[in-house]
């Protein structure tokens, strides 16, 4: 199937509905925080494959969670709260490094590989107020967590990890509750590095997803999200 090749000097994307049957929309373009933010706002995400190439995707359907409709089990949350301690945005880089250990398997440089360039990008987005982490602790040891990008009332999941049973589940459930309390509309969990199969999720058509992204930009613009 044909795809678009992005020019390094142009900060643009073709419309997401031009993506092929697998969701591939475009290849290339200079990676920058500005391009990443534009991609999120356009219903598009990056994925490396092979590693030296950046590919831009917009699958149909999109895998999401609607926080306001998600039925949280308070008893499950209470149980996990007794087993772990949770913090937000206190150890962002530690979460990134833990995700690298989880996904950067030597000799298997696949889509999930978290490059140093992307670590720098996410750290910059964190400093700008867009990238956020949830950290799960057992005493003083980091045993799980996640990070993603918040724009307006949308959260785009990037990576999730755990080194102790139930830690990733707690991170996801805590995040859903937080997003629900703050009135977020959607949590995107399209990437394999963020998808958690035991959490109930929805699938929505790509065009609906893109419309939600555009409406989010129209309503909130450059306003930093409350997280």
pTM of the model: 0.95
Cβ(171)–Cβ(81) below 8 Å: no
Q: Is residue 45 part of a domain?
A: no
- Structural domain includes residue 13: no
Residue recorded with tokens 């969670």: 65
Residue 190: the pLDDT is: 87
Determine the pLDDT at residue 146. Answer: 98
Range of the domain at 87: 63-202
What is the Cα 206 distance to its own chain's centre? 17
Considering the domain boundaries, does residue 155 fall inside one?
Answer: yes
Q: Is position 197 within any domain?
A: yes
Q: What pLDDT shows up at residue 225?
A: 85
Adjacent-strand bridge partners of 24: 57
Q: 74-91 in b/e burial notation, b at 16+ Cβ within 10 A?
A: eeeeeebeeebebeeeeb
Does 110 map to a domain? Answer: yes
pLDDT of residue 1: 55
Residue-by-residue pLDDT tens, the chain, 227 positions: 567 889 888 899 999 999 999 999 999 888 899 999 999 999 999 987 656 678 999 999 999 999 999 999 999 999 999 999 999 999 999 999 999 999 998 767 777 889 899 999 999 999 999 999 999 999 999 999 999 999 999 999 999 999 999 999 999 999 999 999 999 999 999 898 998 888 889 999 999 999 999 999 999 987 888 88
What pLDDT is attached to residue 197?
Answer: 83
Q: Kindly state whether residue 216 falls inside one of the protein's structural domains.
A: no
In a domain, 188, yes or no: yes
Asked if residue 33 belongs to a domain, the reply is no
Q: What is the CATH number of the domain that holds 159?
A: 3.40.630.70
Total domains present in the chain: 1
Where would I find the H helices in the chain? Answer: 33-41, 74-83, 92-103, 116-128, 167-181, 206-220
């Amino acid at each position: 199937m044909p795809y678009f090749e992005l020019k390094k000097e142009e900060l643009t994307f073709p419309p997401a509905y031009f993506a092929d049957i697998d969701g591939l929309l475009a290849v290339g373009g200079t990676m920058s925080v500005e391009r990443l933010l534009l991609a999120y706002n356009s219903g598009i995400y990056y994925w490396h494959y092979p590693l030296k190439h950046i590919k831009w995707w917009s699958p149909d359907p999109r895998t999401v969670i609607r926080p306001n409709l998600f039925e949280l089990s308070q008893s499950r949350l209470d149980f996990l709260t007794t087993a772990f301690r949770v913090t937000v945005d206190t150890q962002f880089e530690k979460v990134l490094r833990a995700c690298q250990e989880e996904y950067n398997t030597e000799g298997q440089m696949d889509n999930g590989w978290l490059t140093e360039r992307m670590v720098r990008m996410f750290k910059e987005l964190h400093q700008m107020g867009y990238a956020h982490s949830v950290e799960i602790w057992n005493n003083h040891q980091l045993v799980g967590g996640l990070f993603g990008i918040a724009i307006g009332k949308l959260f785009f999941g990037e990576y999730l990890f755990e080194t102790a049973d139930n830690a990733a589940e707690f991170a996801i459930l805590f995040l859903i509750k937080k997003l629900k309390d703050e009135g977020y509309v959607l949590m995107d969990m399209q990437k394999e590095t963020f998808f958690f199969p035991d959490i109930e999720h929805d699938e929505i058509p790509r065009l609906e997803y893109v419309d939600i992204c555009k409406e989010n930009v129209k309503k909130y613009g450059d306003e930093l999200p409350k997280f």
